[in-house]
Amino acid sequence: MSGKRCIGRLALLILLFAAFAPAQQTSMPPPSEARPLQDRIASFERAERETWQKPSEIVKALELKNGAVVADIGAGTGYFTRRFAKAVAPNGKVYAVDIAADILGYLKEQADKQDIHNIETIVSREDDPMLPGKSVDLAFFCDTTHHIANRVNFYRKLSRGLKEHGRMAIVDYPPDSPQHPHNPEQLVPRSQVISEAEQAGFKLIRDFTFLPRQYFLLFEKKGAGSEPGRSMRSVRPPLLPSQVPEGRDHHIGFNMQIRAATPVRRSPQAWPLKWEISRPGPFCFSL
Ligand SMILES: C[S@@+](CC[C@H](N)C(=O)[O-])C[C@H]1O[C@@H](n2cnc3c(N)ncnc32)[C@H](O)[C@@H]1O
């Protein structure tokens, strides 16, 4: 083979590798708690956020009931904490968890002013949300997971604070978000979120797509003895998007279909014939 041809092939290989290499967060953002408190308050509470953050729709989607216990991890000023507190009242409560004690002080002051009394603050550690054992029904993160360094360990510690089959919701910006205030390398792609949550013992149960700038993924803690793929349903190919009920995991056999940017997970028991898929949308294609 000539030198030129060899280099050409090598370049093609590199391009192919780059195209299919799993995207990963490659650097950490600067710590937000280093910013002056007043800047953080102004940023987290800015009114225009409501239009694309859709906090009421997020709370509604989580179907919280009176009496539920929620942990808002990286609660900040309590943008979501206050809303959760109302959703689980009068018998439920919210743990507002953050490594920054100053912002939790502000959060508590605001909650008292608004007569919201079912919020408890926890000044946590960078590597541990420090939740009381088996106490929480839902752990929620918004714009926080990309600030956490060793997330698999963090989720494992968090899992100890969840009740059996407790849930974990993650809202954050993907690196290719149409609009975000971060450096893309400091963001966590949705596929990485899913793989890390799975490593920590969670399974994806919903992939909400109504947020224009962020993913919104809902996981459930796997119970002791549960197997991957157990809750999946058989669907025979050919598979059309309209035939797939939403919000469930599906077995799709050899003729697998995926949606661009939808995480597809291999089922360890049945490779290569069975794959797991989460909610195909209108852009399905077959492999
Ligand atoms: C961008 S703010 C988001 C605040 C809030 N979730 C919201 O949506 O308005 C991220 C928050 O996460 C907190 N944080 C960063 N690393 C954390 C960690 N390892 N554990 C808990 N909180 C953390 C920061 O102090 C900050 O208040």
pLDDT in tens, 40-73: 999 999 999 999 999 999 999 999 999 999 999 9
Q: Is residue 144 within 6 Å of ligand 1 at its C-beta?
A: yes
Mean pLDDT of 147-173: 97
Beta bridge partners of 162: 136
pLDDT at residue 11 in the model:
61
Q: Which of 46, 52, 97, 99 to mutate to test the pocket of ligand 1 (most atoms within 8 A of CB)?
A: 99
CA distance 139 to 44: 19
Q: Is residue 214 within 6 Å of ligand 1 at its C-beta?
A: no
Structure tokens at 95: 């743990």
pLDDT category of residue 76 using cuts at 50, 70 and 90: very high
Ligand 1, atom 14, residue with closest C-alpha: 74
Given a cut of 50, whether residue 177 has pLDDT beyond it is yes
Task: Please say whether the beta carbons of 73 and 130 come within 8 A.
Answer: no
Give yes or no for a cis peptide into 238 (omega within 30° of 0). Answer: yes
Given a cut of 80, whether residue 4 has pLDDT beyond it is no
Q: Does domain 51-221 have CATH number 3.40.50.150?
A: yes
pLDDT at residue 7 in the model:
60
DSSP 23: P
- Per the prediction, the chain carries an average pLDDT of 80
Q: Is residue 155 within 6 Å of ligand 1 at its C-beta?
A: no
Q: Is residue 98 within 6 Å of ligand 1 at its C-beta?
A: yes
Strand segments, DSSP code E, in the chain are 69-73, 93-98, 119-123, 136-142, 162-172, 202-208, 215-221, 233-234, 249-251, 257-259, 264-266, 275-278, 284-286
Mean pLDDT of 196-217: 97
Tell me the C-alpha to C-alpha distance, in Å, between residue 275 and each of 23, 213, 258: 20, 28, 10
Q: How far is the CA of 110 from the centre of ligand 1 (A)?
A: 17
Ligand 1, atom 4, residue with closest C-alpha: 76
Task: Please say whether the beta carbons of 111 and 119 come within 8 A.
Answer: yes
pLDDT at residue 276 in the model:
43
Given a cut of 60, whether residue 238 has pLDDT beyond it is no
The CATH 3.40.50.150 domain(s) of the chain lie at 51-221
pLDDT at residue 179 in the model:
85
Q: Is residue 120 within 6 Å of ligand 1 at its C-beta?
A: no
Mean pLDDT of 116-138: 98
Q: Is residue 50 within 6 Å of ligand 1 at its C-beta?
A: no
pLDDT at residue 137 in the model:
98
Given a cut of 50, whether residue 192 has pLDDT beyond it is yes
Q: Is residue 206 within 6 Å of ligand 1 at its C-beta?
A: no
Query: For the whole model, what pTM was predicted?
Result: 0.76
pLDDT at residue 15 in the model:
52
Q: Which of 80, 81, 144 to mutate to test the pocket of ligand 1 (most atoms within 8 A of CB)?
A: 144
Task: Please say whether the beta carbons of 216 and 247 come within 8 A.
Answer: no
Q: Is residue 84 within 6 Å of ligand 1 at its C-beta?
A: no
Given a cut of 90, whether residue 79 has pLDDT beyond it is yes
Q: What percentage of the chain exceeds 90 in pLDDT? A: 63
Which residues, 6+ apart, have CB-to-CB distance to 264 below 8 Å?
Answer: 256, 258, 275, 276, 277, 278
Closest by Cα among 239, 235, 264 to 251: 235
pLDDT at residue 21 in the model:
44
Name the residue with higher pLDDT: 13 or 29.
Answer: 29
- H or E element at residue 20: helix 3-20
pLDDT at residue 94 in the model:
98
Selection from 112-121, 235-244, 256-265 with the highest mean pLDDT: 112-121
Ligand 1, atom 20, residue with closest C-alpha: 126
Given a cut of 70, whether residue 230 has pLDDT beyond it is no
Ligand 1, atom 10, residue with closest C-alpha: 144
Mean pLDDT of 24-49: 93
Q: What percentage of the chain exceeds 70 in pLDDT? A: 70
